Amino acid sequence: MTEFAAIKTELETRLANLLERAEVIEDDLRHPLDADWEEQAADLADDEALEGVDNVLRDEIHQIRLALLRIENGSYGTCAKCGDEIAPERLKARPIATRCIKCA
């Protein structure tokens, strides 16, 4: 999991910036992803705090939260479609990628 530490930091910084722009008080920032991840996933599905926030902004916030969740639960870096490893270069260029280059 530590192999993604740099990406995680990058995503968290990006998320903080986006939330600041969205002017949303974010519980996840005060309580980082330490709860059961399935519970977190349920929370993510229903982002009431982000109601009314610009769609593009909200979508990116959602993508980043999911990426952070995948880092936490160990599925980060694995293609959601074929299960192959996503190339590190691809993750570097697009940290929120959920699919490998072939499935993208």
CA quadruple 32, 35, 38, 41: dihedral sign: negative
* 24: nearest Cα among 48, 44, 8, 45: 48
Contact call for residues 48 and 9 (beta carbons, < 8 A) = no
CA distances from 102 to 16, 27, 85, 90 (A): 31, 36, 11, 11
Q: Which of 21, 82, 92, 94 binds Zn ion (CB under 5 A)?
A: 82
Residue 63 CB, shortest distance to Zn ion, in Å, is 17
Site string for Zn ion, 39-78 (x = CB under 5 A): ----------------------------------------
Nearer to Zn ion among residue 64 and residue 79 (C-beta):
79
Q: Is 100 in the site for Zn ion (CB under 5 A)?
A: yes
Which token pair is 80? Answer: 């959601």
Q: Is 81 in the site for Zn ion (CB under 5 A)?
A: yes
Site of interaction with Zn ion (CB under 5 A):
79, 81-82, 84, 100, 103
